[in-house]
Amino acid sequence: MVVNMLNTAILMGRLTADPELRRTSADVAVTTFTLAVDRGYVKAGAERQADFINIVCWRSTAEFVSKYFRKGMLVAVEGSIQTRTYTDSQDVKRKAFEIVADRVHFAEPRRDSASQSAPTGEGRPSPKQEAAHTGDNGDFIEIESDDDLPF
């Protein structure tokens, strides 16, 4: 009998810094960033705690994240947990846990262009660009106002 394993991580939190795009020696795009994710509980008399989780994005997802996401933005990440081992500069063997993101989504409403801080002056992607990145078929459009909704 074959048993399928499950490794899915879904997180929502705020970026702790602007993501930076890098390239491997084989010219593959990669970006890493840290997501601050609030814990769901607060001990009596204590402040809410957050976990700081490292995220890795590859290829088109890496390019998308580095182009449109900035420090402080609320984002949702879908991916899987991966571990890797390495030896640090003091020759100590270490283990790293990180989320390898398959999809990264905006998780808060669009801000007006004056308050957005994209470095190139480009704002958030159009719904079609965002849908193309996230794998959606692009049939959906963004509705600026919900005044015309039938419910």
In a domain, 151, yes or no: no
pLDDT at 72: 95
In a domain, 76, yes or no: yes
In a domain, 29, yes or no: yes
- Of the candidates 80, 65, 79, which has an alpha carbon nearest to the alpha carbon of residue 118? 65
In a domain, 123, yes or no: yes
pLDDT at 123: 58
In a domain, 1, yes or no: no
Q: How far, in whole angstroms, is CA 140 from its chain's centroid?
A: 21
**Residues of the domain holding 127:** 9-40+47-134
pLDDT at 115: 47
Q: How many domains does the chain have?
A: 1
Give dist(CA 3, CA 130) in Å, integer.
35
The number of beta carbons lying within 10 Å of the beta carbon of residue 19 is 24
In a domain, 19, yes or no: yes
pLDDT at 63: 96
pLDDT at 10: 97
The number of beta carbons lying within 10 Å of the beta carbon of residue 78 is 15
**CATH number for the domain that contains residue 51:** 2.40.50.140
Give dist(CA 35, CA 14) in Å, integer.
5
How does pLDDT run along the chain (151 residues), one tens digit per residue?
A: 888 889 999 999 999 999 999 999 999 999 999 999 999 888 888 999 999 999 999 999 999 999 999 999 999 999 999 999 999 999 999 999 999 999 999 998 876 544 444 444 455 666 555 554 544 444 555 556 555 555 5
Mapping DSSP onto H, E and C, the string for 88-146 reads CCCCCEEEEEEEEEEEEEECCCCCCCCCCCCCCCCCCCCHHHHHHHHCCCCCCCCCCCC
In a domain, 3, yes or no: no
The predicted model scores a pTM of 0.70
In a domain, 149, yes or no: no
